[in-house]
Structure 1
């Protein structure tokens, strides 16, 4: 049996909740029942300013099919039009039986959120996701169309209706709060059990973009005074086929249920006017029905499963080219997908920072240097089939812009590497993968003052095996890792640093091919989320047994 069998689709999210007290923890039963703890993750809640806040409901709907919710967003009144922070919150509930489902939220055509859902218990579950969406402030300043969809199927078998509410909370700046006539009690939400931690560079920007743009028929037109340009791509393998599990595919020469020409290596590329502008490793998301074992994910989802982070590409070296006032072609493609086969969604937003002192910023692209793309797989047949894969790629792009504060040169270098070992028996009754992905990016900005270099090393890891025994007991043992290290330097010294590690381990067993109430499932899952650096630290661990939360521990140490 393939570990892919019996699983449809879905994606990810970040849930910030306070640690549970020891008095709230209960002893687990001998096996899963008809109810379990509501989904949660060990991720930190979003720090929120102690200023006046205004809440706007963006969408409220029950998703039963593939009909999108459509509405109108209107900016908040009473909190100004410049905000210190904007927080999106999704609240969901569902009961009965349902697969995991993938969803998105668009405001004014901008994708501000991509998520997936947990699978419910017969008695029902509730969950919440929060995301810092301050970077999209430009989108929120005027009335916009809203579109939200979490595609679902409800019938006699799959009964779970997804009841969803999405809100935006706007936190006024100190200046806006002072001007407001209304005096409201200030609220402060603390980061539970931890000192504030510096976020990895890819999770935070020093300033909010001036503009948030979308593509029109694949074309991008930037303001002529753009001095920094970043594209973000919400890349997900999806659609119910093998590209949901791209990391398990094998070349067509090997006997396996999911084949893909040259195997599992994937790379998300972005091009400007046909010229390679950025490369990245996609994150190997495991949805909440993944690895043929939903009992792994009922309470703790895999990393990013509720909050799908976009891939970011710094296109600033192309600003001199893009600032000519003409539309330019922006294309995103996924290397490794068989020709003519769908299965990837790659919506694009473009974030732009403008030079307020100039109507036109000129510049030039000075370097595009791409290495050869490596992608090789070696299949070894036997009582245990084996596929060894190695892939990788390098790209450096550089350019400059002449701004009101002088010439600024930006150099972006990215090096990708992937290794994996996939083992399976005939019939796929035993199926295992050990894989690592490394995405190493260095951005150097050389302009007024000393040059600043930021290096971000992202590492993704997957190590798991699913086994179906003669008694139809299916067991999955799986470890996942989402890690990043960030170091910022100026000549001769380190100015800031952070390390991030979101690690998941799970071991779950149930009887396959029987009705739900005869599965006799057991499972233990753990997550530890660590974030520490030059600004502090955060460290939280969760453990569940048979769907019962048995440990919720906050700890922190300076490192």
Structure 2
């Protein structure tokens, strides 16, 4: 997403620089809606992201809530984050079974480009989000996120809460500003099950094949379909250590190329029994549309000025003392200025308001981390161009029954990434295909006061990306598929398997764009179709034959056209339809939303609830 005005062409490379000819085949691109047309309504527009929601506003009164931060963000493109002190509410101390963060924003009728934003608590990132583009009548939106996994932080006092939001400098064009409120809602001993509190249609269904006793344990541990590690965490961590920057320019590391590795030195407690690295990541600048980047040979052969090269494969790499301990390929998140901004008004793209995080279980590596020494935790992005914003949180579970835990890493087998590239082009037309796969296995045992347990992790990763350019580079297609399957097995000291978890994730993406010259000088017409989705499934089985299964699918289809001059949309049309389905031990939830030309046309939700007596 851009950090600057396409009208002024003042671009900050440290954030989101894009400076490519509109006729360049290196697509997709960024555009800015025109607010010169009179608004169809004087009522501000609410922007939404369709996702499995936490409880709606005040479904059950929280035990307590606090407004942590309130601030106006304007003229802040190079300013440090806004900070304030956080302490838990004095009138309702924990423990809490749920904590929700609410990030609510409003902007007046002035223009602002879409922006990236982060929220940190003592350097630990707890939300990565972005802003929509403005509307003539003003806009507002709200992000509610379950932050219960950070509860050990929320019990502490006098912590620094930081919010980074680099709004454009106020001038003749960018006249808007953001009013941001950050609030926290605390719940104690309340049932916040979606299927029991949502104010939507209820129907009875056949019970799922789940054991209630195990279901209650798992319900407390499941924090969301995006967070793979959250599925395996039965309790919140005791300690969370940030792997992030010092915060002067935001706590995120700014990755500028494929050899740029940022790290932080950490000494973890010697009574650590479990460790999970949670990664926050977003792509900007020349890699905002990394899934559409062409090979460098194509750019050089056609003498293009574009810097959006290195092909269309990326992975965030996590290292400890220079040794790779895990990697993730992120979901392509399309910000509200991308491809056709009319698609994302008022329904933003998947993940745009609550960017997903990615967990890497480091428990099998505790054998060389529990030596009482400092270790360097590093982050980088393979094949990257400038700029990626990356940081991580190290979640640690302690053994409260002993001061020192013994551990040993048993095995680590990681196949080299097998990338196959097929490149064929003639002048501006061509076809580029990348296929990659890798299998990784690693294991290790931890001997704590609870016993000696071995964690075995198996991961299979598959990647496909194909780019087609035709009609002298004016017709473009991208098709990408990401598939990840992770299996986590826990064994006792005699090698008996006591639990097995399988997490399967698929992230398909398809984009088609055609560009034609406009009737007036220096204008062009772009038509586009976008289809993308997240499909995720989690199963867990215990040795006692108790089992849980969670499935989620979120699919979005967008289509439209726009007349563009100097990256400013003069006219156009855009429509988006989206279907979300979610099934867990309590039942089934679905939501169907469609929007066109800035208005919601349909928004229907249904809950199919499992009977408590039959579950």
**Alignment TM-score, normalising by the size of structure 2:** 0.79
Which position in structure 2 is the counterpart of 1:525? 576
Which position in structure 1 is the counterpart of 2:159? 144
Gaps of 5+ in 1: 9-30, 175-187
Which position in structure 1 is the counterpart of 2:354? 307
Which position in structure 2 is the counterpart of 1:71? 84
Separation in 2, partners of 1:322, 1:310: 23
Which position in structure 2 is the counterpart of 1:232? 278
Equivalent of residue 254 in structure 1, options 275, 286, 298: 298
Could you tell me whether the CA contact under 8 Å between 1:262 and 1:377 is conserved in 2?
Answer: no
Separation in 2, partners of 1:468, 1:260: 19
Which position in structure 2 is the counterpart of 1:212? 240
Could you tell me whether the CA contact under 8 Å between 1:194 and 1:537 is conserved in 2?
Answer: no
Equivalent of residue 123 in structure 1, options 120, 123, 137: 137
Which position in structure 1 is the counterpart of 2:377? 330
**Alignment TM-score, normalising by the size of structure 1:** 0.86
Could you tell me whether the CA contact under 8 Å between 2:45 and 2:135 is conserved in 1?
Answer: no
Which position in structure 2 is the counterpart of 1:470? 517
Counterpart check, 1:103 vs 2:103: no
Separation in 1, partners of 2:363, 2:506: 24
Q: By how many angstroms is 1:538 displaced?
A: 0.8
Deviations 1:276-324 (A, max 9, x none): 2112221111111111x10010111111111012111000111232222
Compared with structure 1, are the counterparts of its residues 515 and 42 closer, same or farther at alpha carbon in structure 2 (3 Å cutoff)?
A: closer
Equivalent of residue 162 in structure 1, options 165, 173, 178: 178
Compared with structure 1, are the counterparts of its residues 427 and 194 closer, same or farther at alpha carbon in structure 2 (3 Å cutoff)?
A: farther
Which position in structure 1 is the counterpart of 2:481? 436
Deviations 1:250-294 (A, max 9, x none): 111113765566411111221222222112221111111111x10
Compared with structure 1, are the counterparts of its residues 223 and 173 closer, same or farther at alpha carbon in structure 2 (3 Å cutoff)?
A: farther
Gaps of 5+ in 2: 1-22, 33-37, 204-218, 245-262, 519-523, 611-615
Could you tell me whether the CA contact under 8 Å between 1:87 and 1:133 is conserved in 2?
Answer: yes
Which position in structure 2 is the counterpart of 1:362? 406
Could you tell me whether the CA contact under 8 Å between 2:45 and 2:140 is conserved in 1?
Answer: no
Q: By how many angstroms is 1:189 displaced?
A: 8.5
Compared with structure 1, are the counterparts of its residues 482 and 129 closer, same or farther at alpha carbon in structure 2 (3 Å cutoff)?
A: same
Q: By how many angstroms is 1:32 displaced?
A: 8.9
Compared with structure 1, are the counterparts of its residues 345 and 41 closer, same or farther at alpha carbon in structure 2 (3 Å cutoff)?
A: closer
Separation in 1, partners of 2:497, 2:437: 32
Separation in 2, partners of 1:157, 1:402: 62
Could you tell me whether the CA contact under 8 Å between 1:49 and 1:171 is conserved in 2?
Answer: no
Could you tell me whether the CA contact under 8 Å between 1:7 and 1:99 is conserved in 2?
Answer: no
Which position in structure 1 is the counterpart of 2:267? 221
Which position in structure 2 is the counterpart of 1:40? 48
Q: By how many angstroms is 1:129 displaced?
A: 0.4
How many pairs does the alignment contain? 519
Q: By how many angstroms is 1:148 displaced?
A: 0.9
Counterpart check, 1:414 vs 2:459: yes
SS at match of 2:290: helix
Q: By how many angstroms is 1:558 displaced?
A: 8.0
Q: By how many angstroms is 1:51 displaced?
A: 6.9
Could you tell me whether the CA contact under 8 Å between 1:539 and 1:555 is conserved in 2?
Answer: yes
